[in-house]
Amino acid sequence: MADKQKKRIVVGITGGIAAYKSIELIRLLRKAQAEVRVVLTPAAEAFVTPLTLQAISGNAVSTSLLDPQAELAMGHIELAKWADCVVIAPASADFIARLTVGMANDLLSTLCLATAAPILLAPAMNQQMFAQTITQANLTQLSARGIQLIGPATGEQACGDIGAGRMSEPEEIFSALQQRLLQKQDLVGLGVVITAGPTREAIDPVRYISNHSSGKMGFAIAQAFAERGAKVSLIAGPTTLPTPRNVHRIDVESAQQMWQQSLTLACQNQIFIGCAAVADYRVEQVANQKIKKSDDSNEMILKLVKNPDIIADVANLSQHRPFTVGFAAETQQVAEYAQSKLQGKKLDMICANDVSAQGQGFNAEQNALHLFWHTGNKQLALNHKNILAKQLVNEILQQYQQSQIKE
């Protein structure tokens, strides 16, 4: 972080024994010529003092949302606008929960709501607290919103327990900050369309046919492209995932609605990625009223008709055809089916994943992909979907750029 690129970092510290490590993080930031402002939660003051942090950071430390002097200039808004990046280390389970639901009951949580700067969290808590389902759900939701998680590490904790929950070391947090702040905006001007999530095909006003897709992979890809400056349009089926930062989201329900939006946007952009799990069939006649159960019959017959093939129709556009990437979610003969789709649908690239494998695919936090294009293939190992998405973006860009050279 050289002087000519001097960065302004807000370091947020929440209540936890790992707060002492934040002193070293601030020292590393100052050594790298960053400007640092420190915000303490009330609980954090029990572990580190404002006076110590002021001496290390070279700036007054902020502790109260209702400080009369600071609020004369709307201190929390001023800090939110001032920051190039906000890093919270340690981030306690309590703070993570409050941030997830959008609370603003102290200075740090209010600042996080008011800033447009990227936010990084270094979780730190007892291993059992970290393993709790609600904590994992909170972290997943924050990650989907574009908040970067650093750690936690695994090892012996202050309470004597051993497990995941230790705050990452200051050097690791510093390295993650550097990577985030120095990330190239190299995709400005590139238009990308991504479909994500399931579709719902109505049977009657209360029933539908759908699948288990969560949309997590597609949303992660959208986030990865947007972080590098691309203009991203995300056509999303029914999902509760929050929209990634700087992504234009179009919500749809059915395959036909997704098809219409896809064909409209595909010819206006350079890359199209069909990550959605689109229903192959829909009910031919949707009932206007709820279908009642018949006591005279043990079966109900629905006539299904084929939905349009979105990825094939995009790949076969005669004018303004984008570089087209498909997904193949399979349960057997994954490579063979994926290569068949690559050829048969005239795609430029296809990403195959085995959704029958435990711990990956639909609804999971992790995934693994086998990529195929016409002259080669590559495997991306099992990883968190946000990390995997960044790897996938690099591979897509490499093949896209080669296709432009050929033209």
Q: What residues are annotated to the active site?
A: 159
**Cα dist. 273→6, 225, 254, 270, 398 in Å?**
37, 11, 18, 10, 15
Judge whether 118 is annotated as a binding position.
Answer: no
Taking residue 188's Cβ as centre, other Cβ atoms within 10 Å add up to 10
Task: Identify whether the C-beta of residue 393 lies closer than 8 Å to the C-beta of residue 220.
Answer: no
* Helical axes 216-227 vs 133-144, angle rounded to 10°: 40
Cα-Cα end-to-end distance for the chain: 39
Q: Could you write out the DSSP letters of every residue in 216-277?
A: HHHHHHHHHHHHTT-EEEEEE-S--PPPPTTEEEEE--SHHHHHHHHHHHHTTSSEEEE-SB
What is the phi/psi pair of residue 252, to 5°?
-135, 165
Judge whether 345 is annotated as a binding position.
Answer: yes
Taking residue 53's Cβ as centre, other Cβ atoms within 10 Å add up to 26
What is the Cα 380 distance to its own chain's centre? 18
Judge whether 308 is annotated as a binding position.
Answer: yes
Judge whether 341 is annotated as a binding position.
Answer: yes
Judge whether 276 is annotated as a binding position.
Answer: yes
Q: Could you write out the DSSP letters of every residue in 195-210?
A: EESB--EEEETTEEE-
Any idea how long the chain is? 407
**Cα dist. 19→39, 191, 344 in Å?**
12, 42, 57
Which residues does 13 contact at the CB level (< 8 Å), separation at least 6? 19, 22, 38, 39, 40, 41, 44, 47, 48, 53, 88, 89, 90
Task: Identify whether the C-beta of residue 360 lies closer than 8 Å to the C-beta of residue 380.
Answer: no
Judge whether 362 is annotated as a binding position.
Answer: no
Judge whether 311 is annotated as a binding position.
Answer: yes
The amino acid at residue 166 is R
Q: Could you write out the DSSP letters of every residue in 58-79?
A: SSPPB--TT-HHHHTTTHHHHH
CA distance 166 to 89: 11
Judge whether 309 is annotated as a binding position.
Answer: yes
Which residues does 299 contact at the CB level (< 8 Å), separation at least 6? none
Judge whether 271 is annotated as a binding position.
Answer: no
Judge whether 31 is annotated as a binding position.
Answer: no
* Helical axes 93-101 vs 107-114, angle rounded to 10°: 40
Binding site feature residues for CTP: 274-276, 280, 290, 308-311, 327, 341, 345
Residues in binding site: 274-276, 280, 290, 308-311, 327, 341, 345
